[in-house]
Amino acid sequence: KAKGLKVKSVEHGIRLGKNLFGGEIEEEVEELTGKQVIGLIENIEITGRDELTQKIKAKVDTGATISSIDEALAVELGFVDAINFSKTILNQIPAEYRDDLIAMKKYSKDNNLEARLEEHPDISDTAIIKSGSGITYRISIPIKLNISGVILETYCTVVNRQHLDYRALIGSRDLKSFIIDPSKK
């Protein structure tokens, strides 16, 4: 494959090597491990209620435990009732609890938020998440993910991701069937 190629620089040689042999190496890794090789950004298919499906680009984030999707995407997937139900409860959390993780956990326990939210049939769990955006109390909804041909029945948290580049984030809990190659495009 490489005979007669003109290599202009080390960087060019590396790029050529990856282009010529990267697929074969990736296939060997997949064959040896039984795991798909994916990149940091992946085209995925998400299925929600009533088989409503969306194809989107998602960010792969091994630093996040639980996968999350944008609230508007959850609506498109048929979870509008669960979101509206949760908002009637979560919008009552006083502002002074929203910036303090310990206070939020205490408020949740004292007001039985988890049990109240999980009364809705589409809410499978709840989570208090501390991220770069602050502390949020989130509901989790059941979804089906198709990542590189691997189908997972899982759940993800719902949060406003409108200000972010990707409508979904795939967390480490849902990445056990994959090897992540940061250079894969």
For 102-156, what is each residue's pLDDT tens digit?
999 999 999 999 999 999 999 999 999 887 777 889 999 999 999 999 999 999 9
- Band the pLDDT of 80: cuts 50, 70, 90: very high
Give the pLDDT confidence of 17-66 residue by residue, as tens digits. 666 666 566 666 666 677 888 999 999 999 999 999 999 999 999 999 99
Q: Which residue has the tokens 């990149």?
A: 39
d(CA 149, CA 20): 24
Predicted local distance difference test score (pLDDT) of residue 58: 97
The tokens for 46 are 């998400």
d(CA 2, CA 77): 48
Predicted local distance difference test score (pLDDT) of residue 23: 59
Q: What is the pTM of this model?
A: 0.80
- Band the pLDDT of 184: cuts 50, 70, 90: confident
Longest dimension (CA), the chain: 73
**159 CB-near residues (< 8 Å, 6+ apart):** 68, 69, 70, 71, 129, 136, 138
